[in-house]
């Protein structure tokens, strides 16, 4: 009996300690976010500049990175992704507004991502070129496809490795449909809706011809915008851009041959070419740092490895809302 009381007291102390810990974490997190909002820095994630090339001229070249699926997700420290969309846009904005930045180089390794996110980067790059008169070069890594190419299309120069996979110019919108399986299992979903198409892309009912027409119209609209971006960025006719935009992939070598890429070369080659073209400036890599906020609401991709298959599956097959992608079609998604 005495032993049981000791155990009960120990459990109470553990529960009390856990409660105090949660309360402290909550208060600290609230303070971190509020102090950052008021002071513009501090405990949340920021970025730092690292010199990766010395220079002989005043000013520098900003080296940024797009790595991972281009989605504006809200992941935590414990489930981080390899790409932070808001942080990248912030760094790009800072680079274009900084008078000391004489050029911007973006290293890209991505299968693509969301239509909106890809367009936001493309718009920002165009703004840097047109409003701030700053040249933008792209260095393609292992994969720079679909949305990755969308953001790269308007760059002043595009470099790729011979083995780079690029292209995949097109749009994809997918959903799973399990209505046949539910029928076999005798399961019926009751849906009460205000309009015929309110539950469009529902996985529990067959798509109608009208549904298909609506969704295909959206895909076609996004596709035409992609073709326009390629045509304008690469100085193609619309017909020439369309002929290269049937969703196929190209190696870096093939992309040079058809005009989608300017030159073959590594990231180092791209850096040296930019320095040769605009001046031997220092090159600063803009690297995200991970503060206290990474624990609770901000990504920490370099601490935990990203699962691309899981991220793509969660995005493409999220039936909470329809979503289109500029995304390299991933074999795992169709299994």
Torsion sign (Cα): 332, 320, 212, 219? negative
String of DSSP letters for 12-80: HHHHHHHHHHHHHHHHHHHHHHHHHHHHS-SSS-EEEEEEEE--SEEEEEEEEEEES-B------GGG-
Structure-token pair, residue 87: 């942080």
Contact 74, 122 (CB under 8 A): no
Structure-token pair, residue 36: 């950052």
Structure-token pair, residue 64: 């940024």
Quote helix, strand, coil % in the chain, to nearest 5.
Answer: 45, 20, 35
Q: 146, 154, 168, 245: which is the annotated catalytic residue?
A: 146
Structure-token match 């795992």, residue found? 332
Distance CA 241, CA 271 (A): 28
Distance CA 263, CA 159 (A): 5
Distance CA 159, CA 140 (A): 6
Contact 231, 179 (CB under 8 A): no
Structure-token pair, residue 311: 């991220």
Determine whether 245 is an active site residue: no
Determine whether 237 is an active site residue: no
Crossing angle, helix 85-97 and helix 115-130, to 10 degrees?
10
Contact 288, 87 (CB under 8 A): yes
Q: 30, 198, 243, 266: which is the annotated catalytic residue?
A: 198
Residue 192: is it exposed, middle or buried by C-beta count within 10 angstroms (0-12/13-18/19+)? Answer: exposed
Contact 150, 112 (CB under 8 A): yes
Q: Which residues participate in catalysis according to the annotation?
A: 146, 198
């Amino acid at each position: 009996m005495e032993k049981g009381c000791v155990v009960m007291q120990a459990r109470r102390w553990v529960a009390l300690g856990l409660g105090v810990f949660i309360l402290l974490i909550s208060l600290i997190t609230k303070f971190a976010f509020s102090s950052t909002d008021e002071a513009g820095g501090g405990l949340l994630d920021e970025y730092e500049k690292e010199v990766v090339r010395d220079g002989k001229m005043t000013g520098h070249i900003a080296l940024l990175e797009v790595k991972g699926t281009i989605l504006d997700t809200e992941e935590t420290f414990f489930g981080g992704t390899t790409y932070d969309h808001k942080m990248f846009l912030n760094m790009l904005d800072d680079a274009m507004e900084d008078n000391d930045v004489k050029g911007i180089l973006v290293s890209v390794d991505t299968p693509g991502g969301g239509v909106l996110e890809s367009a936001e980067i493309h718009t920002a790059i165009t703004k840097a070129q047109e409003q701030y008169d700053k040249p933008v070069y792209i260095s393609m890594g292992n994969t720079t496809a679909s949305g990755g190419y969308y953001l790269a299309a308007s760059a002043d120069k595009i470099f790729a490795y011979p083995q780079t996979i690029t292209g995949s110019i097109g749009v994809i919108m997918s959903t799973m449909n399990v209505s046949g399986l539910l029928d076999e299992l005798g399961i019926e979903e009751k849906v009460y809706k205000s309009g015929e198409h309110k539950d469009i892309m529902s996985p529990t009912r067959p798509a109608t011809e009208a549904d298909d027409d609506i969704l295909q119209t959206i895909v076609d609209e996004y596709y035409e915008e992609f073709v326009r971006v390629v045509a304008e960025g690469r100085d193609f006719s619309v017909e020439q851009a369309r002929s290269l935009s049937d969703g196929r992939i190209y190696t870096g070598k093939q992309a040079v041959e058809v005009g989608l890429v300017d030159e073959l070369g590594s990231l180092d080659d791209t850096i040296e070419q930019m320095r040769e073209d605009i001046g031997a400036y220092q090159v600063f890599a803009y690297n995200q740092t991970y503060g206290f906020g990474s624990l609770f609401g901000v990504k920490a991709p370099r601490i935990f490895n990203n699962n691309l298959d899981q991220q793509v599956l969660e995005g493409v097959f999220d039936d909470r809302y329809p979503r289109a992608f500029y995304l390299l079609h991933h074999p795992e998604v169709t299994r």
